[in-house]
Amino acid sequence: MGHAIQHQEGYLPMKFRQKMVPVANIGTNLGLWVCIAGIFIGLYELAMVGVVLFGAAVAFTLVTLPVEFDASSRARKVLREHGLVSGEEARGVDQVLRAAAATYVAAAVAAVLQLLYWLYRARMAR
């Protein structure tokens, strides 16, 4: 529901995130392979191209965070304003949405750490 509202209102961070999808897909699908190939053949520049490509995927996960937090906030607000959840249900909704947000935070942290790892590995190939 929150994303539908964002889409209807033209929420700028969501539009930006949507424009990032093609680049993020390339980074996700090719970045690490290019980096590994560069490390394997000892070509630092190729390894760094892979790191940069993977960095685009990492940037996507970071841009996703405010979009998801905002969508959850909007959904909670609509559910409460329209009486679609009772007080007890609202607490459950809050817990579920917080848990969902935590998965995006964990994914972003893991992606940043993985990027730092591959950057380190690529630099060691120099």
d(CA 90, CA 103): 20
pTM given for the model = 0.86
**102 Cβ partners below 8 Å, 6+ apart?**
none
Tell me, what's the pLDDT at 1? 86
Contact 39, 122 (CB under 8 A): yes
Q: Is the pLDDT of residue 43 over 90?
A: yes
The residue extents of the domains of the chain are: 2-124
Tell me, what's the pLDDT at 35? 96
Q: Is the pLDDT of residue 36 over 90?
A: yes
Mean pLDDT calculated for residue range 4-33: 95
For 62, the token pair is 């970071």
Q: Is the pLDDT of residue 109 over 90?
A: yes
Mean pLDDT calculated for residue range 23-38: 95
Q: Is the pLDDT of residue 125 over 90?
A: no
- 17: part of which helix (H) or strand (E)? helix 12-26
- CA-CA-CA-CA torsion for 33, 36, 37, 39, nearest 10 degrees? 160
Tell me, what's the pLDDT at 88? 86
